[in-house]
Structure 1
Amino acid sequence: GNIEPPGLHYLSRDEETHKRLNKLMGVELDGHVSGITLFASVPLSTEPWRPFEANELIACKEGQIVAKLQL
């Protein structure tokens, strides 16, 4: 098949959203979560997943995006 952008998607959730929508197709999360950022090759739900831009780098710490760089 063809390889085309976007090759990766991400979704960030805060604690309240995570409590409300804790089920994703094929993903189960346990325990206390103050925030979470998920990465997948295709969106795993109908939530607003964002595609990576070409040459984009995203850094996370403790589930939160702390930096985005365009290389």
Structure 2
Amino acid sequence: MLLVINNNSGIAENQIELFNYDLLLKDFKKPLNLRKVDFRKYAVFGFLFTETISENELEIQQILKSNLTKYITLKQ
């Protein structure tokens, strides 16, 4: 499965210090590949390729409903 991790947080890109890609990967049982994107230029954090079996479908539902703020660190 391919997931586009776009900035739907409501937080402007210029207010974001970093996006925690490692934490994102921990929320998936079998992430295959993560392509990080410069979110300050494209308003997308990245593309995540993952293999998800039906027993783990909840991980997909959660990321699709998430506003991603748990992965975002704001600038001071």
Calculate the TM-score normalised by the size of structure 1: 0.30
Calculate the TM-score normalised by the size of structure 2: 0.28
Looking at secondary structure, tell me which structure has more strand per residue. 1
Looking at secondary structure, tell me which structure has more helix per residue. 2
Query: Larger Rg: 1 or 2?
Result: 1
> Which structure carries more relative contact order (alpha carbon 8 Å, separation 6+)?
2
